[in-house]
Structure 1
Amino acid sequence: MRLRPELLRGILNYGLDRPSSVQQRGIPLLLKGQDVIAQAKAGKEKYATYCIPILQNMELQSIRTQALIITSTNETAGQIYRLILGLSTLMHHVECMLCISGGNIGDDVKKAQKRPHIIIGTPNRICDLVNLNAIDLSYLKMFIVDDAEHLLIQGFKEHAIELRKNFPKTTIVQTIIFSGSVNTEIMDLTTSLQMREPVRILVKKNEQNLNGVRHYYLYVAMERSDWKFEALADLLESIKNQTIIIYCNKESTMDSICYKLCERDLNAIALYGEVGSSQRDSILDKFKSGKNNILITTEVLIDIDLSVQLVIHFELPSKPEDYGKRITLVSASGSYQGVSISFVTSKVKDMSNLRAIESLYKIKMPEMPINLPEIL
């Protein structure tokens, strides 16, 4: 790949010196202008797969919006925005706009009217600005739908059809979809977006990058119903001040353990899947700042730019592939030595789920070592 020298230096300075599997397959296609549907886990590796071609193909001398990136949450949009700024540090005159819910729409209108080269944001705010004639898509070259599976749950298909009406009438807009999974709904979206024979990049479930993650299990006998929580509390008491994510399968379980941990003066906070964007941002800000160093959630994938020391599966996922999605955070850099601990009880289902995870990802989980605080 022949990239702008200043972009290549930006990539290396950002630490992206080893292309991932999806980058190796995706970047050459995107540089050629091919429409693509790609399955990939969240994180900088995925975002860079389309950000690098955007910056490479940008006409910097043209004061027009040439690339539009839509994603499902404010924090993901913020990550992509910061990545583009980081990669383009040595490139002159790249104008980029972050367009998310919760901000002052009047300020966004003024920024959008300056025709930034790249706009990144969430669908509601972007559609609002398009309807206000603040965003001009008549010169758009690239349209990226990131985290498509979650966007569709949010009703994005209708937004997509509306946005498509504002695309250039005489030129082709390259359209790229990234999703954690590629299903019938995702394929239907390609029709709504009028994609041109899109190339599919599918990553096998066990290709998700778990390098650098150490996997353990913690066995808890279920002679008393509260033993599992007590085991969790004892573990957290021994590793205070670490950044920890605890996954549950049910919100009722999440509520219960969050309440009990707070009673013990452990700084836990719960994140619900249906929480509003402003409240979600507030919860994640508290987690990122360290005010609450323990985040409890039922969400399969939380996409935040933060190093996490420990992921605890208080309840194993029912789908083995969700195990890999859950620990995406600690494996995001590839070299970071994160730890994943799976709670296993005497229930037959727990042990069968554990073996299914080991088989899928070709790993072997030993029992959690006694000296865990020393190796974190």
Structure 2
Amino acid sequence: MIKKFNELKLPEKFLENLDSLNYKEMTKIQEKSLPISLEGKDLIAQAKTGSGKTVSFSIPIVKKLKVRKFTIQSLVLAPTRELANQIAQEIRKVSRHIHNVKVLTLCGGVPYKPQVASLRHGAHIVVATPGRILQHIFETKIDLSDLEMLVLDEADKMLDMGFYEDIIKVVEAIPKNRQTMLFSATYEEDIEKLASLITNEPVFIEDNSVHEKQVINQTLYEASEGEKDLLIPSLIESREAKSVLIFCNTKVKCDELADILYENDIDVLTLHSDLDQRERDETIIMFSNKSYPVLVATDVASRGLDIDDIDLVINYDLAKDVKTHIHRIGRTARAGKKGLAISFYDEDSKYKLDMLEERFDDLIFGKKEEIEACNYEIDCDFRTLFINGGKKHKVRAGDILGALTAGIGLPKDAIGKIDILEFVSYVAIKKEYIDRAYEGLCKNKIKGKYIKCYIK
């Protein structure tokens, strides 16, 4: 079996780009799927979050692309705007050896009319949420007649969110003669039914390696609500965690816990349904670029959250079912890395332990008295600089990088993740350089213009 990207039958420049992205050894899902998908066959892949599936479908999309044919050739459907944006970023990286590739995201939660204007300028690849692409099909009369590839990512989540009918309507509006790839964490009856309707003689592959017991160590503690609030800072210290994701079942508890952690000198962000789309985007960006070490979230708000290097997940409340629990803890073991998940339970939630013990045979039941705090203080290396200019202002990551390095004189390793949104941008800067970066950008131009910026 092919295990390295350079063994794939891809053009030399394509392989050089993958190598520059440090894509060398394939994950299990990439090993199994790429030889099939690159042959143009339909594919059904059961793969968990963090298995490397985005690269699995990005490579065949880019391989099939005819860049001189300026029409929509591939469509990727995703359950949330956050995931759609992450997929689009990955496709842009995988295709950066090809000039003038246009990847467009069409998602809800942002104004519709600017998307219509973007469509008039054309695109090669569209990444969309089902509801919004359907709106463009019926209202904008988007031209999908040249579509050669359809990808459904996290299909199980899309069905959980009620998108089944929308997906079927989208499929009815695109060419039947196409390649289809469906990725799902589960393969239950509803997914099987959908797959049978939209694929043609598909090859089924499976990768359960991401959540095997040796990857995620799970410990449970019995504790009352008051005890949980006191134990969490000690748990973070004892595990010397650098990035922590805490799940609560209600938005009220998210805010209450965030206040408690803040009082313990822990920088924390919250993510729940009270946040508007701009606040959600900003929160996810600042957590993913390592500007804040702790994120407290509800399940609904965290859908589509795709962040690497979370080394501790804490279930403040036990999840409603095993499927949600698996999805939560999977955030701490990305692409085979080991992770740690801690869950609290009390008398009221004790009944849920049976479902967990039935699914996992390696659970550890710890004693809260044995949790020992130490001198470790959780902190972040970066701060985030907000820049009031984005894609609509023709601002690119290279423009910001150039302004910070050539213009201000910051070393390249002082600059972290750069996120360019439609109207604004965010850049992670190492803490010791944040003031210099802010003052420099206030005095210097980006794309020939002075642009306002703030430290977040």
After TM superposition, the score normalised by the length of structure 1 is: 0.80
**1:340 counterpart = 2:341:** yes
When residues 350 and 138 of structure 1 are mapped into structure 2, their CA distance, relative to the original with a 3 A threshold, is: closer
The equivalent of 1:229 in structure 2 is 229
| Root-mean-square deviation over aligned CA pairs | 3.7
Change (3 A) 1:211 1:3: farther
Counterparts in 2 of 1:228 and 1:365: CA distance versus 1, 3 Å:
closer
Taking the aligned partners of 1:109 and 1:266, their CA distance within structure 2 comes to 43
Trace 1:44-59 onto structure 2 (pairs within 5 A): 45-59=52-66
Aligned partners of 1:321 and 1:285: how far apart in 2? 26
Distance verdict in 2 for CA 1:257–1:245, change over 3 Å: same
Residue in structure 2 matched with residue 185 of structure 1 by the alignment: 190
Distance 1:323 1:184 in 2: 20
After TM superposition, list the pairs within 5 Å mapping 1:307-322 onto structure 2: 307-317=309-319
Distance between the aligned counterparts of 1:363 and 1:237, measured in 2? Answer: 22
User: Does the alignment pair 1:102 with 2:109?
Assistant: yes
Which segment is superposed worse, 314-323 or 47-56? 314-323
- Change beyond 3 A, Cα 1:363–1:127: same
The CA deviation string for residues 259-308 of structure 1, in whole angstroms up to 9 with x for no partner, is: 54456564444444797755643543454463573323345865223432
Change in Cα spacing, 1:7 to 1:273, as seen in structure 2 (3 Å) is: farther
Of all paired residues, the percent bearing the same amino acid is 25
* Cα distance change, pair 104–196 in 1 and its aligned pair in 2 (3 A): same
Give the CA deviation at 1:226: 2.6
Q: Please point out which of 311, 330, 333 is paired with 1:331.
A: 333
Deviation string 1:219-269 (CA, Å, 9 cap, x unpaired) is 45x5x6632332224435778994311134566765654454456564444
Secondary structure (helix, strand or coil) at the match of 1:144 reads: strand
Does the Cα contact within 8 Å between 2:50 and 2:334 map onto a contact in 1?
A: yes
> Is this contact kept in 2: 1:310–1:338, CA < 8 A?
yes
Higher mean displacement: 106-115 or 143-152: 106-115
What does the per-residue CA deviation read over 1:43-91, in whole Å, with 9 as the maximum and x for residues that have no partner?
4711111111111112222122110001011111111111111111212
Hey, what does 1:92 align to over in structure 2? 99
Question: Normalized against structure 2, the TM-score is what?
Answer: 0.68
| 1:145 counterpart residue number | 152
Which residue matches 2:136? 129
| Equivalence for 1:79 | 86
CA distance change for structure 1 residues 372 and 216 in 2, over 3 Å: closer, same or farther? farther
Q: Which runs of 5+ in 2 are unaligned?
A: 1-7, 379-456
CA distance 1:352–1:308, change in 2 (3 Å): same
Q: Secondary structure at the match of 2:105?
A: strand
Give the drift of 1:161: 2.8
Q: Deviations over 1:302-361 (max 9, x none)?
A: 5223432321233455755655432333322445x64433446799768766755652xx
Whether contact under 8 Å (1:242, 1:309) holds in the other structure is: yes
Note if contact 1:358-1:364 (Cα within 8 Å) is conserved in structure 2.
Answer: no
SS across alignment from 1:167: coil
2: CA distance, partners of 1:373 / 1:19: 39
In structure 1, what is the equivalent of residue 119 of structure 2?
112
Indicate whether 1:197 and 2:204 are aligned: no
Asked whether the equivalents of residues 358 and 365 of structure 1 are also in contact (C-alpha less than 8 Å), the reply is no
How far, CA to CA, are the matches of 1:197 and 1:373 in structure 2?
Answer: 58
SS in 2 for 1:186: helix
**Matching residue of 1:281:** 281
> Secondary structure, in 3 states, of the residue corresponding to 1:202?
strand
- Say whether the 8 Å CA contact 1:40–1:178 is kept in structure 2: yes
Size of the alignment, in residue pairs? 366
Q: Which amino acid aligns with 2:244?
A: I
Paired letter, 1:104: P
Deviations 1:176-208 (A, max 9, x none): 211111111112223543x2122222334xx22
Shift of 1:97: 1.3
Query: Which has the higher mean CA deviation after the structures are superposed, 309-318 or 273-282?
Result: 273-282
The question of whether the paired residues in 1 share the 8 Å contact of 2:104 and 2:127 is answered with yes
Question: For residue 183 of structure 2, what is the amino acid of its counterpart?
Answer: F
More off after superposition, 134-143 vs 157-166? 157-166
Q: Which deviates more from structure 2 when the two are superposed, residues 60-69 or residues 308-317?
A: 308-317
Q: CA 1:49/1:344 → structure 2, altered by over 3 Å: closer, same or farther?
A: same
The question of whether the paired residues in 1 share the 8 Å contact of 2:106 and 2:133 is answered with yes
Distance 1:160 1:330 in 2: 30
Distance across 1 between alignment mates of 2:260 and 2:248 = 15
**Could you tell me whether the CA contact under 8 Å between 1:213 and 1:330 is conserved in 2?**
no
Query: 1:296 aligned to 2:300?
Result: no
Alignment equivalent of 1:41, drawn from 26, 43, 48: 48
How far apart are the structure 1 equivalents of 2:102 and 2:151?
17
Displacement after TM superposition at 1:172 (Å)? 0.6
Farther off after superposition, 7-16 or 260-269:
260-269
The secondary structure found in structure 2 opposite 1:98 is: strand
**Structure 1 gap ranges (5+):** none
2:425 corresponds to which residue? Answer: none
Q: Which has the higher contact order (CA 8 A, sep 6+)?
A: 1
Query: Using a 3 Å threshold, how does the CA distance of structure 1 residues 128 and 11 change in structure 2: closer, same or farther?
Result: same
- What does residue 423 of structure 2 align with? none
2:126 alignment partner, SS class: strand
